[in-house]
């Protein structure tokens, strides 16, 4: 579990509502300290939900909410939690929030709930949530912990959505269920009549789970060639 740098200087400085440090907390996890590609947290439930954009989007939003609010709650309680039982306290808080998210989704979008219920349940053990609680919320003030949680959830969501967009367009020729390119008149670009796009074939490999892993591997490759500091030296 990679610890992010939290300088002790933040304690002594004058508290700002939304200063440079706060913005850094939100923006850093989106690229340079991304929970999926740099900290290797939360890959578990990430990859199975990315064949289409809609479930990926819902998963991203629910994980962002859960990380944000669990960070907030644990940070508020951090002085009262005995060290020996902190894992169980954290798990109960996370499980409570995940249950709330799951029940709301079940009430408003039953179809997606049906597909995602196992994976939403798994965000309880999603390492991002636990990892941020341990690394940040246990030692920092509530407002900053909340921002850290939202930032990390967003970084995770961004990776989910990038992968889901690539997989849905190349695998199904669609985006959010809207048909873009394919071999019939239902699609926006009909490959049977269009001379320009006649070469297009939906790629069956992209629908298979394995392609998500290749895409994450390639994303890591791109990110690390851009930012040499992240290269694994071992």
Q: What angle do CA 14, 20, 24 make, to 5 degrees?
A: 125
Strands 181-182 and 189-190: parallel
Using CB under 8 A as the binding rule, whether residue 59 contacts another protein is answered as no
Using CB under 8 A as the binding rule, whether residue 210 contacts another protein is answered as yes
CA atoms within 13 A on the CB side of 144: 19
- Report, in Å, the least distance between residue 16 CB and another protein: 34
- Give the C-alpha distances (Å, rounded to integers) separating 195 from 73, 180, 190, 202: 58, 16, 9, 17
Structure tokens at 42: 């939360």
Using CB under 8 A as the binding rule, whether residue 102 contacts another protein is answered as yes
CA atoms within 13 A on the CB side of 234: 0
- Point out which span in 56-64, 70-78, 121-129, 151-159 binds another protein (CB under 8 A): 121-129
- Report, in Å, the least distance between residue 72 CB and another protein: 19
Structure tokens at 219: 């994303």
Identify which of residues 133 and 174 has a Cβ nearer to another protein in the complex: 133
Identify which of residues 75 and 211 has a Cβ nearer to another protein in the complex: 211
What is the separation, in whole angstroms, between the first and last Cα of the chain? 16
Separation of alpha carbons 196 and 29, rounded Å: 40
Using CB under 8 A as the binding rule, whether residue 83 contacts another protein is answered as no
Residues 35-54 that bind another protein (CB under 8 A): 37, 40-48
Among 104, 118, 176, 188, binds another protein (CB under 8 A): 118
Query: Footprint of another protein on this chain (CB under 8 A)?
Result: 37, 40-48, 87-88, 91-92, 95-96, 98-99, 102-103, 117-118, 121-122, 124-127, 130, 208-214, 216-218, 220-225, 228, 231-232, 234
């Amino acid at each position: 579990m990679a610890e992010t740098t939290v300088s002790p200087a933040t304690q002594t400085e004058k508290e700002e509502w939304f200063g440079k440090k706060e913005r850094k907390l939100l923006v850093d996890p989106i690229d340079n300290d991304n929970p999926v590609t740099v900290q290797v947290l939360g890959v578990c439930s990430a990859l199975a939900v990315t064949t289409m954009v809609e479930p990926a989007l819902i998963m991203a939003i629910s994980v962002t909410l859960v990380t944000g609010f669990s960070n907030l709650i644990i940070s508020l309680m951090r002085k009262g939690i005995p060290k020996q039982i902190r894992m169980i306290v954290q798990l109960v808080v996370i499980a409570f929030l995940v249950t709330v998210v799951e029940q709301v989704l079940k009430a408003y979008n039953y179809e997606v709930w049906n597909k995602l219920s196992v994976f939403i349940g798994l965000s309880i053990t999603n390492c991002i949530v636990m990892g941020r609680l341990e690394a940040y919320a246990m030692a920092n003030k509530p407002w900053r912990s909340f921002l850290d949680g939202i930032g990390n959830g967003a970084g995770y969501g961004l990776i989910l959505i990038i992968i889901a967009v690539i997989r849905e367009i190349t695998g199904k020729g669609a985006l959010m269920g809207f048909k873009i390119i394919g071999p019939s008149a239902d699609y926006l670009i009909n490959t049977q009549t269009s001379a320009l796009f006649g070469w297009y074939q939906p790629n069956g490999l992209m629908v298979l789970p394995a392609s998500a892993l290749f895409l994450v591997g390639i994303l890591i490759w791109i990110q690390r060639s851009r930012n040499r500091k992240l290269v694994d030296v071992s």
